[in-house]
Amino acid sequence: MDKKVTVKFWQLFPALEDGVQFDVSLQAAFALSGEHLVKELDEVRYQLDPRTSANAAPICGDVIRLQSDALPSRLKAGEKAKKLTLAEGEYLGHHTAFIYDTEKHLLGFEVKPAAAGLSKLTTLVAELANHQPCIALPILTESDINKLAGTKNGAVIFKIADPASLNAVDPDLGEVRDNIAFLKDLVDGAYVTVSIGVGPRREGLTVPKIRRLVGWLVGEKEAKRGKIRDVKVSQPHEAEPILDFVKAHFRTSQVLELSGDPDTDWPKREQFLRSSLAKAKQHVGNGNG
Model confidence at 89, pLDDT cuts 50, 70, 90, reads confident
Q: Dump pLDDT digits (tens) for 153-162.
A: 778 889 999 9
Average pLDDT over residues 152-180: 86
pLDDT at 60 over 60: yes
Average pLDDT over residues 25-54: 94
Beta carbons within 10 angstroms of residue 144's beta carbon: 23
Average pLDDT over residues 84-104: 91
Domain boundaries, the chain: 2-139+250-280, 142-248
Range in 17-26, 84-93, 123-132 with the lowest mean pLDDT: 84-93
Average pLDDT over residues 121-133: 94
Q: Who has greater pLDDT, 108 or 133?
A: 108
**What span, in angstroms and rounded, lies between the C-alpha atoms of 109 and 195?**
30
- Residue 42: what pLDDT? 86
Model confidence at 149, pLDDT cuts 50, 70, 90, reads low
Range in 1-15, 114-128, 235-249 with the lowest mean pLDDT: 235-249
pTM of the model: 0.83
Beta carbons within 10 angstroms of residue 26's beta carbon: 23
pLDDT at 250 over 80: yes
pLDDT at 202 over 60: no
Listed as own residue / partner, the contacts of 186-195 with beta carbons closer than 8 Å and 24 or more positions apart are 190/161, 191/159, 191/160, 191/161, 191/227, 191/229, 192/159, 192/160, 192/161, 192/163, 193/157, 193/158, 193/159, 193/230, 194/157, 194/158, 194/159, 194/160, 195/155, 195/156, 195/157
- Residue 205: what pLDDT? 66
